[in-house]
Structure 1
Amino acid sequence: MFLGIDVGTSAVKALLIDENSATVAETDIPLSVSNPHPFWSEQNPADWWDATLRAIDALHRQNPGALAVTRAIGLSGQMHGATLLGEDDMPLRPAILWNDGRAKKECDALDAALPDLGLRAGVATMPGMTAPKMIWLQKHEPELFAKVRTILLPKDYIRFCLSGDKVTEMSDAAGTLWLDEESRSWNEAAIEACGLLMDQLPKLVEGSDVTGTLRRDLADRWGMTAGVIIAGGGGDAATGGIGVGAVRHGDGFISLGTSSQIFVASDRYRPKPEELLHSFTHAIPGHWFQMAVLLNGASCLQWVARLLGESDIGALLARVEAQHNAPSDILFLPYLNGERTPHNNPYARGVFFGLGSDTNREAMVQSVLEGVAFALSDAQSRLHAAGTRCELPGVIGGGARSRYWIQLISDIMGTPLARYEGAAKGPAFGAARLARLALTQEPVEDVCKKPAIEEVIEPDPARHASYQPRFAKFRRLYAALASEFTPS
């Protein structure tokens, strides 16, 4: 058995898979996000650890026999989060998350200091990355900054709690701006530009490497034997790729989780920071990927459902689908947490445009679904401009449960999309596969197979044509409002 743990933004997810990659137990423990100031987004690392303990406790209750014979643990997690430990190895403050936008000015300073950083780090300098957050802390919380002994990413804080090891791996380190993506090593100049020393960063390994073993007291708690290994794991984008077998050049998927991504695997490093794409190291040796990153995905649907007092999202979507007979008269800009691709604007915010006295809740929800699809189409254009295409992306994440939404995305993007079996498992499943690779050292292609395709959803040509004027208006609306989002 192999255990995968994903430290997400909305939940810690844990699952057990067997030697045939079948899931034998799984659970989610919800998390909440704190927004103490405009554009801030934080979580308490202690909440991640508490949720992880509760998740594995739940697996133990579900299937103690399976957990008892588990031999390896893989980790996945939200990327970019600055988890700061002091000399006593305790967190000094809440972690600053991937969708935090406070460090825009610090990005400008970093670009001025290191003009070639985008080509080495694989992405344009963006506020959500770890590096500019540290410059912000040095400027605004200097006493705390001086106490920082170790900087860990979210999943790596959980690794430290599980095993006592301060280690990260390539795919998560890629999102810090401190990794030289091509050489797969720390970029000392970028680290020094943030006022840091190399020994404040964890050791670098590959995602399929062994980083340590589970603490004996935790093994006893869950009825596990001594010597359970922990794999390097990966950032959630890379582990999502591992989970759906996106390991060969050109393999790809669309993730509809809290955020959203279009991911395409690559056989070499192909930086395109000018297109606001992420060109990062994969979680397996000798592989990279390109990715268009949207800070908003299925979270937009959850937000509007909560706003409208709708607790049953499945029933809500059924009503929307039944009413849907044409593109919505309402446009929705889905930038609730800012945006990366294609705007790199942490200040962008959500907008409903075209509301009328006859607007009902189903029309509002339809416009939200369309807005996310328009944003994905916008991001896809940047991948195409970089010469990157994926023939048949699968759709994964919580949003993949809705066939109606996938059809809508296919119609708007003009792209065939695949529905995979078990598509909602996401990064935790990929983390479990990395645990297996670390333990067995099998060939990657033997373990990271694509799931069975339940259905290929083809775009409707007439609907695609009907959406193009709305897509053009969507782009014009953002362009008209872009300068208005910037704080005065």
Structure 2
Amino acid sequence: MTDAALLTLDAGTSGGRAAIFDVMGRQLAVAAAAWDYETPPDAAPWGRAFDAGRFWGILTALTRQALAQANIPADAVAAVSVTSQRGGLVILDATGAPLYAGPIQDLRGVFQAAALEETWGERLYAISGHRPALIFAPARLRWFAEQQPELFRRFHTLLTISDWLTFCLSGVRGTEPSAAADTQLFDIREAAWSAELMNSLALPQALFPPVRVTGVIVGEVTATAAAQMGLRPGTPVVMGGADTQMGLLGLGVTAPGQVGILAGWSMPLQQVIAAPLSGQGRLWVGGHVLPGRWVLEGNAGPAGRAVAWLAEVMFGRHDFAALEGLAASVGPGAGGALAFLGPQPMNAAEMGLAWGGLLMPLGADFIGVERPHLARAALENIAFAARANLDLIVEVSRAPATQVAVGGGLTRSRVWTQMLADVLGQPVRVSALPDASSRGAAVSAAVGAGFYPDLTAAAAAMSREDMSIDPTRVAVAEYLDQYERWQQAREQLETMSRIIG
């Protein structure tokens, strides 16, 4: 189609990434680096924050690396778009300097959240589709108002992390529905900031930026940003969005009924819906990056994180290939063993509070459980958790999953993706590129640059190389019984936990 390139920036939970794509969705280069968070002394022990300038410096350096790796000149970049972890915030002063930067893990407002849940919990959920208050913006803002009122009075613009990346590139302050929904201050039905919540929580409306649309040009790369990144000043900056919804876009999940699973460090599942249904207090409801589309979300919790932990325990290093090899050496059902490690069915009221993990082989053949059984049982646990969340989503939406697509780091494992298809009992479309969120940002950039008429057309064209995995009949039958045993054991463990706790 063209030799033009598209640049994407991704500020993830565990690190940053800069990637270069062509207009067909093929990744030409990628540079990544890990990062971590600080615990501010005045917000200990639950507070988390990051140095916005340091994170931006990491991303600018990664951009230069990716451009060098792709061996393309700056003027070959037709547009740049962004994505990021959800729930994180960067709050600017009037000059654009960051006064606060924190991830969703910033739980400094734990006591303020308890008060919000008691007085406003149901209304917060009804309007925003999100809870618990502990992990969202209102609790943190109330903490600042109470604990650091002088700093709070200087708060001028609240941005999500993806919004902040757009600001760093272009100097433009704005947001879009997929990221704004994860502040707990966005009216999902109106696709606008909630005036009711702002008034009820005594938050100034001027704090919240204009709402824009993913895939439109919002500005140009400034001279300062261009010098930092090795880009051409004036390169179009296209509105991006939250990483999970951008992952849906990268997977081509755009039509009502379709489901996307992002099996990365955590494992959110989202079904596209045509109207903002009630999540019944059991699921999140948010905005898709597509106008007139919403998402119903379950989240199985720390999938990739649990696998990394188990690999460290078993091999002394993060060796997923070795873990996968062990899992592949035994058949479906893991010799009767069940594992509970991280991923579980979602409980919207407790989201973010109980993402722990328990590894517990169970069953009649407990004495015969060996390392390969344990490895397979752990991977099967992730697939079972995906099934449980998908079943809940379908129950609440009352709409079948017309297609299931999966992206994220776990898709590098053919053992696990086949396992997922077998556990779900239906074909699974697997992304040719694990980093579906960055590809979603490339879809956005391609539309903004004029290569496609809209996001739906671009998403379909740029995900053509994805493959479909069909379930295996024998394994499907085996997993029906194993899944029921897993559900029964999980419920027993939850009952025991409530009695003990």
Alpha-carbon distance in 2 for matches of 1:326, 1:115:
41
In the alignment, structure 1 residue 365 sits paired with structure 2 residue 375: yes
Report if the CA contact (8 A) 1:73-1:228 is conserved: yes
Cα drift, residue 454 of structure 1: 2.3
Aligned partner of 2:395 in structure 1 is: 385
Aligned to 1:454: 467
CA–CA separation in structure 2 for the residues paired with 1:233 and 1:114: 30
Shift of 1:435: 1.4
* Alignment match of 1:329 (pick from 320, 323, 337): 337
Once the two structures are TM-superposed, the CA of residue 81 in structure 1 deviates from its matched residue by 0.8
1:400 to 397, 408, 411: 411
**Which residue number corresponds to residue 442 of structure 1?**
453
Alignment correspondent of 1:121? 128
Task: Indicate if the aligned counterparts of 2:109 and 2:142 stay in contact, CA closer than 8 A.
Answer: no
The structure 2 residue matched to 1:299, chosen from 301, 305, 329, is 305
Residue 474 in 1 paired to residue 490 in 2?
yes
Amino acid paired to 1:172: A
1:416 and 2:423 correspond:
no
Residues in 2 aligned to 1:66 and 1:246: alpha-carbon distance in whole angstroms: 32
Most deviating of 261-270 and 26-35: 26-35
Indicate if the aligned counterparts of 2:444 and 2:455 stay in contact, CA closer than 8 A: no
- Aligned residue type for 1:431: A
Number of the residue aligned with 2:28: 24
Residue 256, structure 1, aligned to residue 258, structure 2: no
Following superposition, the deviation at residue 76 of structure 1 comes to 0.6
Report the alpha carbon displacement of residue 325 of structure 1 after superposing the two structures with TM.
Answer: 5.5
- How many residues are matched? 482
Alignment gaps of 5+ in structure 2: none
Q: How do 1:163-242 residues align onto structure 2 when only pairs under 5 Å count?
A: 163-242=170-249
Contact 1:69–1:224 (CA<8 Å) still a contact in 2? no
Aligned-pair identity in percent equals 20
Question: How far does the alpha carbon of each residue in 1:183-211 deviate from its partner, in whole angstroms, 9 at most, with x for none?
Answer: 21110221233332111122211112222
The amino acid of 2:459's aligned partner reads C
Look up the equivalent residue of 2:311 and give its one-letter code.
A
Deviation sequence 1:200-245 (CA, Å, 0-9, x none): 1222111122221101133245553332111111101110111111
Tell me whether 1:312 sits opposite 2:319 in the alignment.
yes
Q: Which has the higher helix share?
A: 2
SS at match of 2:98: coil
State how far apart, in whole Å, the 1-side matches of 2:311 and 2:109 are. 27
Partners of 1:144 and 1:217 lie apart in 2 by 27
How far apart, CA to CA, are the structure 2 residues paired with 1:359 and 1:102? 43
Structure 1 alignment gaps of length 5 or more: none
CA positional deviation for 1:170: 1.2
State how far apart, in whole Å, the 1-side matches of 2:498 and 2:53 are. 37
Note closer, same or farther for the CA distance 1:252–1:101 as it changes in structure 2 (3 Å cut). farther
CA distance in 1, matches of 2:92, 2:498: 37
1:51-77 deviation line (CA, Å, top 9, x unaligned)? 211210111211342543112111111
- Cα 1:291–1:360, aligned 2, differ >3 Å: closer, same or farther? same
CA contact (8 A) 2:253 2:405 kept: no
Question: Could you tell me which residue of structure 1 aligns to residue 289 of structure 2?
Answer: 283
Q: Where does 1:38-77 land on structure 2 (aligned, <5 Å)?
A: 41-65=48-72, 67-77=74-84
From the superposition, tell whether residues 461 and 101 of structure 1 become closer, same or farther in structure 2 (CA, over 3 Å).
farther
CA distance in 2, matches of 1:471, 1:18: 44
Q: Which amino acid aligns with 1:154?
A: I
- Structure-2 change in CA distance of 1:90 and 1:223 (3 Å): closer
TM, length-normalised to structure 2: 0.87
CA distance in 2, matches of 1:345, 1:59: 34
The structure 2 residue matched to 1:15, chosen from 16, 19, 39, is: 19
Alignment of 1:98-137 (within 5 A): 100=107, 103=110, 106=113, 109-110=116-117, 112-113=119-120, 115-137=122-144
For residues 1-54 of structure 1, give each alpha carbon's deviation from its aligned partner in whole angstroms, at most 9, with x where no partner exists: 221211111221222222322222222222224567666554433342122112
- Give the Cα–Cα distance (whole angstroms) in 1 for the partners of residues 412 and 399 of structure 2: 27
* CA deviation after TM superposition for structure 1 residue 127, in Å: 2.4
Counterparts of 1:264 and 1:339 in 2: how far apart (Å)? 14
